[in-house]
Amino acid sequence: MKPNQSDPTVQPVPASVVATVDAADTTLSNPRWAVVALGANLGNRLENLQGAVDALGDTPGLRVKAVSPVYETEPWGVEAGSQPAYLNAVALVRTTLPPSSLLERAQAVEEAFLRVRDERWGARTLDVDIVAYADVVSDDPVLTLPHPRAHERAFVLAPWHDVDPEALIPGRGPVAALLAETGRAGLTPRPDLELRLPE
């Protein structure tokens, strides 16, 4: 489900803006690395994750540079069997957007896929979480960086480690060590499913 003109998160972008964004990949206009975790356990889960990757890729000031393998995982924080299993993945992006604008975009993408926020840890069509943004450490309640629970969630650590084995979580340490400590219980690799980089 690649976003089209009916997708409320996609607006026409002037050619001059596109040119500036494209130049950001090769000039030092201060692009930063960010890590975005994706999850879905309602609807066509893989299609929803791919739609999120494509929508992020359509964002001015952002380029999706890598997407992880897909994992199937048990829902976090709820009674076993009370929700469908999740598909999870991680995307690495380069962006000139500040964290607050990246958060706004992530939430807009969720809303485009009819994400409902009725309950904490509720089932969802799409979850788009900013896990880390460069080396920023912030306790802002609107966007805490790095994500306050990423270091203990195998469904974030495993796909992140797959695409960046040397990754560090600011203030927490190497993703590889955190994954070793957390373990891979409840994670099922899905090599039959694949996410594509945006065209």
Active site residues: 115, 124, 127, 129
Q: Write the CA distances from 178 to 144, 149, 168, 184, integer angstroms.
A: 19, 12, 9, 11
Three-class DSSP labels, the chain: CCCCCCCCCCCCCCHHHHHHHHHCCCCCCCCEEEEEEEEECCCCHHHHHHHHHHHHHCCCCEEEEEECCCEEECCCCCCCCCCCCEEEEEEEEEECCCHHHHHHHHHHHHHHCCCCCCCCCCCCCCEEEEEEECCCCECCCCCCECCCCHHHCHHHHHHHHHHCCCCEECCCEEHHHHHHHHCCCCEEECCCCCCCCCC
d(CA 141, CA 48): 27
d(CA 132, CA 96): 14
What single-letter amino acid sits at 136?
V
